[in-house]
Structure 1
């Protein structure tokens, strides 16, 4: 699938020339922002709904917006820390008059409060879902992960689950969470805080992917203690917690982002503007508080979890701007009765915002963030293996945003962003291993035959990975506003750059104490600072224009970006259009291509070491014994790994039939070049030896002229992951019914996915070829990977009873899980070829593969062709109650699974419970003005 790329690029260049030839200065819209008492609000943020330019109020609350000549309508979205968001549309004469807008303080005494994410057209996408500060408050969130549980199709989880396990985000997909496709989905979501990308590309906290495959990041993991198994929860039919504390080859761990000082969260699950690069499946925009705020102290508790946050925004001086300080501490235990599993987070941020006092011509924000997490288990006294694991992550990040407002027709403003991040990550695992009396060990680092040595077979095995990820990024961007022939233009031109490296000591292992079940493969120490750094760069041009089509407002955001990712050049055209069919109905359509660069651990997974014993003559005395071993060093590096790519089409309607608002969107996303694990076989021929014993001395050995072939297996990461997803999202909300003081909102998502690893590979194990028939010419079957289809249907219904006179809100969230279906496609049980004894490949026709001659190569079929997890419809209900006492204190209570709905499903693994056990928590917020 390849679009005709030169044509759209030429069209955009033609538009660029056109607007320069027809540029005309327009009039200015003047506004002023005040609080409820009429006092001016400086630092208020003003966004034009159809533009990507942000305006700011000066010290006296005033602002001006240059209008294209002939403009007839202007819609503004105005935000300020601690204030209710204002969305206002001005037409006709109102555009020429000073408009004073009063912002009310966020509180439960307001007539209306927004307690859920809402679908909203933004400058970034047609179909963004935005959570404002009040909606974030209502989730009583311990991290961003808790807020995102309320997206369509997501599952509301017990709060303790989201902090006890790595929490990543997937959007608009039905693939199981334990699949390679899910890792790709999460890896392809860009997470941005204050305009700067939080990158996971330098995370190398994984045991060798070449040895263990794509899931090597989960090989250092916590033991599954009985207390947690009893309370496990399933999401999309998959056990949500896999007890790993690292997220290499995966999305960013959202537990690292506290929600305490966040002003808004925008989730783009459709087509993002061309200014966003290095993503395939979505963008998460997090905007934090910047401005004058009272001292705010929040305390949350939920069973074994406690969270404390402190925020304050204060003015240094009228000429030096405002500083915001935020501190956060979280401590969580898996089970208060059994404190074996624990997670801790300590973080904070300092934001300094400066802008000119009157006409805002320059604005700058510097932020310094630090974060420390510790995810660990303590030694279980009843576990004789002395199993302990821990994951720690310390990060410090410095970023800066600057903007100059020129207000010329050909150049309205210029912005510059930059960020630098340094971290230290440590993963540690230990357990006692009792195998044989002695074991043979080799330390060889090159392919060849060497004498090894013997070590005790009872030992404490340790694995340790220390990484020091370093990331940096920069962006420069310029905006222009023009008037063409009956068309208003906004042109954006920009460039961005990112850098990723890892300077850590790397994998620290002792080959004499290997991990259990390593077989003939083992790890050697590997420094990460020898891994080449990665740089990606991109340029883009975006043209946003507004006109009238058949007398109705028509807006289009069309752009194209070019990126160099891992030395591959890609072009990504994107378009978002919306047409106001009537006063109440808007039609949206979007299409775009997006790409994601591979991470360091995918490009450079490290060597695989295979030790083949040739002579193992041990008589009880090391000095009179010999261990001869052939070490094969396999280098499965992927310097030419291509970027992951997606093609997304989306269309839908926004309908505003007061008092009911609804949106219905259809999407289709095709992803290819995804990162996949491909199993490989390498034939190695080694000599056989004759051994001659010598009493009191080491035995003699020499080749006897015969040979043996070993077929070594390893994994290679390739661009063979493919998925195709389509579905529907319906969101509905009502205004408050005054007689009941209650409003309703609901969402339903239908997702259907087809996915496979398209590489040809050899498969062994429970569903692969089980034995080798050495009497046949064909030893190993080569297969296309199993293709699968998955379908999920899920609804969420929320009722909000809000009584302003009592300053109280009661929310009930009901979830309905209609279907979670996984279908295995059996056509892939037949091989597409085979390997002979020497490892040579021979293709097979379909008729040959299905013949009796090659029946010994067939994969084992799945026990079931269609699996429902579970086979019934089930529900869950959670409750939240919030009450304000004056302007200083707010109390909230939450109950997860308040009615103890825990359906059971029995399969070969035993009884599975859906929904976690009931959980109760509370929150106190003190505001000192």
Structure 2
């Protein structure tokens, strides 16, 4: 299918006869006024099809060049912070000799119509969902994560900053106590976050333990606290988001004009993604001064933003800042999160016809996230996850408006940050055994005190640079108009931090050798600055055109990407088709491939060390004691890690008439090459020693000639995770019921995910017969699979009284299905390793064989189910009122019925509570013109 799509694209472009249509450069002269017929100064006017635009002057007057054929229809978008986004269309050539008046309205509760829910967007992607400024203003949010809760099949949660907020799209990952799973992390890692045309990358984030040490994979490699993090909360906490997507807590909502979420097949323009994209646009231009204060039961948020139009034709300057302080529980402030973000954007048009637009931006953010020591739990760990980040970006748009090219754009972004993850814990044991050696072999170790405070730190200094160059042109083949785009992108990621910092003499309790002569995983210093930078890039071309079938328009977008990711070439064709069945029904079809390169954390997890004691002779005096050990080391080869891949196909049906808007998406997404870990075993043949004590000095060690068969296990990073995801998404909007001034909106989603791990799995067993070399110590089995089904619904009523400047919104959310099942499989091994490392296939398993009988597993023979036993509902309310013309007060409550049902899964002692406790919040917005 990938080859077929590529051939179709080449035939379309190669066999077309390009004709130069009767086109020319026209000019539209317009003026923008508000509801009181006063000029709207410094608003932005953009042609939706080409993205070319200009800024109106202080009198609302603008001149917009139109390079098109006479009779073409062009759609115009008018935007300015504080004003409701307006849309209009023109026919080229009809209004050339007159001043055309366009109208915008101030965004407040006196408007007749205000959007309160996301809508399906008319973009290249059939699955695009748009959250514009109207919706943002009416939604209580501490970060964009709260806005993305409005998407179909997303869990509706109260605004909070107390946990890492990653986004998952079109997957039902397995629920875990930590909220992290390898499949969920891969999905979040494969979602591109694009702000102002620039990719925000998490590739250089390495704030994590080594995942090759953990039996639980990437999700278990995080740095965590232990025990309590507040009143009534005994779960551990981690602020790490390595191996996943961008932590959405870091992005506040100030100055955001629009968010477009693509869950399915995106434009070929976008690379470095397998599971969708979140495209964020911030307003650059004049705006009133906004002062915002949001107070919640566990958080306080303060922010301001202002856009200035500079004199002497120096353009526009936007500034903004946001500060948030929050606690998990105000009664016991052990867990805190604080965020400071500032931004500056300068926009200017150059040239007589304003053909060149340049936007320069600076962003600074600082995050303090941590858990203090509980005075009642002296052995609990404390942890801090602190960071700051600085980014500089520039967007250059050149409107050429020639027959061969319409526009060209160059986007660049450079970010630099410092991340510090630190933990502190008290260790109490008899004696510490440690070594400083990093090379494999037999070494003499050291003894240290057993009671101490262990300090460990991970210091990262991530550097990310992204650049993209895009060209847009238009041409005709006969009467068929093509909007053709092509270009490329480059991504650079590095980490110059000091890395993983440990004192081997004061190891963590989980990372040292036991005094009972057992092998242990240990840690060494790992310098991140020695890691090779990551360099990835790609090129693309895409053709958009409209043809007619049976007299009805078919909108088509056919694109092709070629990506180079970790030295692997990946070809990604993509296509979106939308056919107008009638004046009210649209039918869409899309299919496409995409890929995502591994990040530095997957490429360079660092070495793994095993310290295996050979002799531990301790007399209480270090001068007469000896610790002899063998150090084993494993290093991951970065060249072995391939990019993640996904194939998506989706069917879309939409209906729009008289205020009724229904959109149904059916999708299938097959994700492969996901990043996971695989258990590996190494069998060592180590010498035994005789210990001969000597008075006043260390004992004399002599080899006995005998050897000890020792088995160690480690975990290699592999492309071994896969998921098949199918589902439906339904969005519904109904016209206003004038009698009660109320509109109704609803969303429903269901996703079924089949999660598999490629290859075989193995289980280690205690060697009860150490002298029997034929005894099976490792059993090899077929890998199982997990099937998860999740379905959630949302129903909202919005009662709006424009004359009263009042809006009341009630939202009911429904957890319909939450099913997790593991089909049973045979517990018979298909192979095994003996005590000395020999590998044997099992063709006829004999449960009576004393060397293998213990390998028969009965714990996974039966299928297991973890089903939500009922449908659970939750209800929320939001009231907004314009107190004065320029002051708006909002009050919101989550779970206002305090409905918190509990249920237990059969065979588990843990209780699940689908609804969080009630939370309250109020927001005051003061707009100063």
What interval of TM-score do these two structures reach, taking the shorter chain for normalisation?
over 0.9
Shift in CA distance, 578/6, structure 1 to aligned 2, threshold 3 Å: closer
Query: Contact 2:230–2:334 at 8 Å: present in 1 too?
Result: no
Shift in CA distance, 67/383, structure 1 to aligned 2, threshold 3 Å: same
- For structure 1, the residue ranges without an aligned partner over 5 or more in a row are 233-240
Say yes or no: does 1:456 pair with 2:449.
yes
SS of 2:543's equivalent? strand
Query: How far apart are 1:677 and its partner, in Å?
Result: 0.9
Which residue in the other structure is 1:311 paired with?
305
Query: How far apart are 1:464 and its partner, in Å?
Result: 0.6
Query: Contact 1:32–1:57 at 8 Å: present in 2 too?
Result: no
Which residue in the other structure is 2:503 paired with?
510
CA distance in 2, matches of 1:53, 1:293: 21
Q: After TM superposition, list the pairs within 5 Å mapping 1:369-380 onto structure 2.
A: 369-380=363-374
CA distance in 2, matches of 1:840, 1:355: 72
Query: How far apart are 1:68 and its partner, in Å?
Result: 4.5
Which residue in the other structure is 2:274 paired with?
280
Query: How far apart are 1:568 and its partner, in Å?
Result: 0.6
SS of 1:792's equivalent? strand
Query: How far apart are 1:613 and its partner, in Å?
Result: 0.2
Query: How far apart are 1:47 and its partner, in Å?
Result: 4.0
CA distance in 2, matches of 1:283, 1:771: 50
State which of 460, 469, 482 in structure 2 corresponds to 1:476.
469
Shift in CA distance, 368/680, structure 1 to aligned 2, threshold 3 Å: same
SS of 2:880's equivalent? strand
Which residue in the other structure is 2:119 paired with?
118
SS of 1:450's equivalent? strand
SS of 1:639's equivalent? helix
Q: After TM superposition, list the pairs within 5 Å mapping 1:890-909 onto structure 2.
A: 890-907=888-905, 908-909=908-909
Calculate the aligned-residue CA RMSD, in Å: 2.3
Pick which of 906-915 and 125-134 moved more: 906-915
Shift in CA distance, 576/655, structure 1 to aligned 2, threshold 3 Å: same
Shift in CA distance, 487/842, structure 1 to aligned 2, threshold 3 Å: farther
Shift in CA distance, 864/260, structure 1 to aligned 2, threshold 3 Å: farther
Which residue in the other structure is 1:238 paired with?
none
Pick which of 209-218 and 376-385 moved more: 209-218
Query: Contact 1:905–1:913 at 8 Å: present in 2 too?
Result: yes
Shift in CA distance, 99/647, structure 1 to aligned 2, threshold 3 Å: farther
State which of 406, 418, 421 in structure 2 corresponds to 1:424.
418
CA distance in 1, matches of 2:22, 2:781: 63
Shift in CA distance, 913/40, structure 1 to aligned 2, threshold 3 Å: closer
Query: Contact 2:761–2:780 at 8 Å: present in 1 too?
Result: yes
State which of 379, 399, 404 in structure 2 corresponds to 1:405.
399
Query: Contact 1:405–1:414 at 8 Å: present in 2 too?
Result: yes
Query: Contact 2:824–2:861 at 8 Å: present in 1 too?
Result: no
Which residue in the other structure is 1:761 paired with?
761
Query: How far apart are 1:260 and its partner, in Å?
Result: 1.6
State which of 280, 284, 294 in structure 1 corresponds to 2:288.
294
TM-score by length of 2: 0.94
Query: Contact 1:663–1:731 at 8 Å: present in 2 too?
Result: yes
Which residue in the other structure is 2:81 paired with?
81
Which residue in the other structure is 1:666 paired with?
666
Query: How far apart are 1:523 and its partner, in Å?
Result: 0.8
TM-score by length of 1: 0.94
CA distance in 1, matches of 2:766, 2:112: 67
Query: Contact 1:24–1:482 at 8 Å: present in 2 too?
Result: no
Alpha-carbon displacement from aligned partner over 1:473-512 (angstroms, at most 9, x marks no partner): 1111111011222211111110110100000000000111
Q: After TM superposition, list the pairs within 5 Å mapping 1:725-744 onto structure 2.
A: 725-744=725-744
Which residue in the other structure is 1:100 paired with?
101
What is the number of equivalent residue pairs in this alignment?
A: 907
Alpha-carbon displacement from aligned partner over 1:405-450 (angstroms, at most 9, x marks no partner): 1111111111111110000000011110112x11211111100111
Alpha-carbon displacement from aligned partner over 1:337-391 (angstroms, at most 9, x marks no partner): 1011100001100000001376221100000000000101122111112531100
Shift in CA distance, 174/228, structure 1 to aligned 2, threshold 3 Å: farther
Q: After TM superposition, list the pairs within 5 Å mapping 1:153-172 onto structure 2.
A: 153-160=153-160, 163-172=161-170
SS of 1:34's equivalent? strand
Query: Contact 1:787–1:828 at 8 Å: present in 2 too?
Result: no
Say yes or no: does 1:497 pair with 2:499.
no
Query: How far apart are 1:903 and its partner, in Å?
Result: 0.7
Say yes or no: does 1:211 pair with 2:204.
no
- For structure 2, the residue ranges without an aligned partner over 5 or more in a row are 514-519
Query: How far apart are 1:637 and its partner, in Å?
Result: 3.1
Query: How far apart are 1:830 and its partner, in Å?
Result: 3.9
Which residue in the other structure is 2:883 paired with?
885
CA distance in 2, matches of 1:92, 1:155: 46
Which residue in the other structure is 1:359 paired with?
353
Query: How far apart are 1:30 and its partner, in Å?
Result: 2.6
Query: Contact 2:146–2:158 at 8 Å: present in 1 too?
Result: no
State which of 801, 813, 817 in structure 2 corresponds to 1:819.
817
Shift in CA distance, 255/434, structure 1 to aligned 2, threshold 3 Å: same
Query: Contact 2:67–2:401 at 8 Å: present in 1 too?
Result: no
Alpha-carbon displacement from aligned partner over 1:255-275 (angstroms, at most 9, x marks no partner): 010112211111000100000
Which residue in the other structure is 2:675 paired with?
675
CA distance in 1, matches of 2:659, 2:492: 49
Shift in CA distance, 406/90, structure 1 to aligned 2, threshold 3 Å: closer
Alpha-carbon displacement from aligned partner over 1:147-187 (angstroms, at most 9, x marks no partner): 11111111111223xx0111100001112253211110000
Query: How far apart are 1:245 and its partner, in Å?
Result: 0.5
Say yes or no: does 1:831 pair with 2:825.
no
State which of 446, 454, 469 in structure 1 corresponds to 2:439.
446
Shift in CA distance, 704/909, structure 1 to aligned 2, threshold 3 Å: same
Query: Contact 1:173–1:751 at 8 Å: present in 2 too?
Result: yes
CA distance in 1, matches of 2:910, 2:487: 55
CA distance in 2, matches of 1:836, 1:490: 65
Query: Contact 2:440–2:633 at 8 Å: present in 1 too?
Result: yes
Query: How far apart are 1:10 and its partner, in Å?
Result: 2.2
CA distance in 2, matches of 1:269, 1:849: 50
Query: How far apart are 1:622 and its partner, in Å?
Result: 0.7
Query: Contact 1:5–1:571 at 8 Å: present in 2 too?
Result: no
Which residue in the other structure is 1:237 paired with?
none
Query: Contact 1:602–1:717 at 8 Å: present in 2 too?
Result: yes
CA distance in 1, matches of 2:536, 2:357: 28
Query: Contact 2:826–2:860 at 8 Å: present in 1 too?
Result: no
Which residue in the other structure is 1:225 paired with?
228
Pick which of 509-518 and 326-335 moved more: 509-518
Shift in CA distance, 770/85, structure 1 to aligned 2, threshold 3 Å: farther
Query: How far apart are 1:625 and its partner, in Å?
Result: 0.4
CA distance in 1, matches of 2:391, 2:589: 37
Shift in CA distance, 549/28, structure 1 to aligned 2, threshold 3 Å: farther
Pick which of 390-399 and 113-122 moved more: 113-122
Alpha-carbon displacement from aligned partner over 1:599-652 (angstroms, at most 9, x marks no partner): 001011110000000000001111110000100111123323111000000111
CA distance in 2, matches of 1:424, 1:168: 20
Pick which of 140-149 and 89-98 moved more: 89-98
Query: How far apart are 1:44 and its partner, in Å?
Result: 1.1
Which residue in the other structure is 2:872 paired with?
874
